[in-house]
Amino acid sequence: MIRGITLRRPPISPAWVVLGALIFLALVVAMIRYASGLGAISNLNDNTGWGLWISFDLLCGVALASGAFITASIVYLFGGEQYRPLLRPAILTGFLGYLMVILALMVDLGRPERIWYLIIFWNHHSVMFEVGWCVMLYTFVLALEFSPLVFERFGLRAPLRLIHALIIPLAIAGATLSTLHQSSLGSLYVILPDQLHKIWYTPLLPLMFWLTAVAVGPAMVILESTISSRVFRRGLGLDLLGGLARVIPFVLAAYMAVKIGDLAGSGELGLLAEWDLESGLFWLEIMGFVFLPMVLFSLPAVRQSSAWLMFSAFLVVSEVVLSRFAVGLIAIGRPEFAASYVPHPLEFAVTIGIVSAGIAAFGLVARYLPLFTEYAPSSAAE
């Protein structure tokens, strides 16, 4: 049985006050939205029906939550038992990530009270149908993968044994569902052959979204581990993070090859020489956020330094944010009705409030549940 970590700090610190205030502000904004419509709190309009929330909270949020399925696959399926100390925080980050996505959808959807209609009304031609189903099912899988923390805390042996028996099928289901919806978030935009800029449009968007999600999974685990080791004053398994980091260059190289190969294949490499916003974003992404972290993560010196690991992981996270915004918002040309969307400050307030809720929930779990299993192999049922 692992004991929960109790912190010897006053329960109400300034950080909690700030988080609470940001969450409260987002709640107020959400109430205004429910009373008076999306137009009251957002600059979304008929030209730009999907804005900040879809690009950041949905596209980035889901991708950045991929550490859970990557780590679970490594530990349970690929024989990486030594990475188990990273598993619980990674599962929690993923689980909270998906809950945050659902919170954002509860604001962004026009009829949030009908979100469950996805279960009863089917259109299997719609990519959104796949996204909805996979996110629903995978959030359930994550809840099950997270549940041992609660069961252990309250000493519930029977459900713990049940989850333990199911853990391999759960890991396989989690990786499959993640692959399906991480990629189908890209497929959503394959329906825009004429509206998405040629540098950013390709029928291979699903493959690219999946590859970048796989690359950012370990990067998020590195960031989350290094940050929480500082916040919670815990030791850091640098050797584990360094081992995880070795995967990243391979994935980034595959992504770069697909991306450049795709542009070459469609004869659009010339567009990269035109100095405009879309090509600028491409170069920034490929050089700064793909090639650079690929080189950095290949260097043993980087993998042995927590500061360098953090910096390189931050570059990979930036890659995901940039590419999701490029596809979701920036490179969508509206030739007839010039795009005129800049997110409203209250849209940011909602996003910031949801992220604050995620951070607060992580802090609460770290405080009250057995989140950090130390390096000794755990004897409790996992």
85 scored as a contact of another protein (CB under 8 A): no
Closest CA to 69 of 200, 170, 195: 170
Does the CA dihedral 276-282-286-289 come out positive or negative?
positive
342 scored as a contact of another protein (CB under 8 A): no
Query: Whose structure tokens read 């497929």?
Result: 187
Show contacts with another protein in window 346-365 (CB under 8 A): none
Closest CA to 3 of 375, 381, 382, 369: 369
Do the Cβ atoms of 209 and 183 come closer than 8 Å? yes
Return d(Cα 148, Cα 156) in angstroms, integer: 9
Residue 6-35 contact track with another protein, rule CB under 8 A, x = bound: ---------------------------xxx
Closest CA to 98 of 354, 375, 341, 279: 354
80 scored as a contact of another protein (CB under 8 A): yes
Identify the residue among 16, 50, 140, 325 touching another protein (CB under 8 A): 50
Show contacts with another protein in window 279-338 (CB under 8 A): 334-337
Show contacts with another protein in window 238-277 (CB under 8 A): 243-244, 246-247, 250-251, 254
* Tokens of residue 2, six digits: 């692992």
127 scored as a contact of another protein (CB under 8 A): yes
Least distance (Å) between residue 61 CB and another protein:
16
Do the Cβ atoms of 314 and 12 come closer than 8 Å? no
Range in contact with another protein (rule: CB under 8 A) among 60-68, 91-99, 113-121, 306-314:
113-121
69 scored as a contact of another protein (CB under 8 A): no
193 scored as a contact of another protein (CB under 8 A): yes
Identify the residue among 187, 212, 226, 228 touching another protein (CB under 8 A): 187
Distances (CA, A) of 358 to 18, 44, 193, 275, 351: 13, 25, 35, 39, 11
180 scored as a contact of another protein (CB under 8 A): yes
Show contacts with another protein in window 210-229 (CB under 8 A): 214
Residue 368's SS3 state is: helix
Range in contact with another protein (rule: CB under 8 A) among 81-89, 287-295, 300-308, 319-327:
81-89
* Tokens of residue 240, six digits: 């584990």
132 scored as a contact of another protein (CB under 8 A): yes
Do the Cβ atoms of 183 and 263 come closer than 8 Å? no
Do the Cβ atoms of 326 and 281 come closer than 8 Å? yes
Identify the residue among 195, 227, 264, 277 touching another protein (CB under 8 A): 195
Closest CA to 294 of 255, 248, 258, 256: 248
Distances (CA, A) of 122 to 117, 126, 130, 134, 222: 9, 9, 10, 14, 39
40 scored as a contact of another protein (CB under 8 A): yes
188 scored as a contact of another protein (CB under 8 A): yes
Least distance (Å) between residue 152 CB and another protein:
22
183 scored as a contact of another protein (CB under 8 A): yes
Identify the residue among 83, 95, 200, 209 touching another protein (CB under 8 A): 83
376 scored as a contact of another protein (CB under 8 A): no
Q: Which is nearer to another protein, 26 or 175 (CB)?
A: 175
Distances (CA, A) of 379 to 16, 117, 147, 161, 202: 34, 43, 17, 13, 49
Identify the residue among 7, 18, 81, 230 touching another protein (CB under 8 A): 81
Return d(Cα 276, Cα 271) in angstroms, integer: 9
55 scored as a contact of another protein (CB under 8 A): no
Identify the residue among 121, 270, 275, 307 touching another protein (CB under 8 A): 121
Do the Cβ atoms of 324 and 61 come closer than 8 Å? no
Range in contact with another protein (rule: CB under 8 A) among 88-96, 103-111, 155-163, 291-299:
103-111
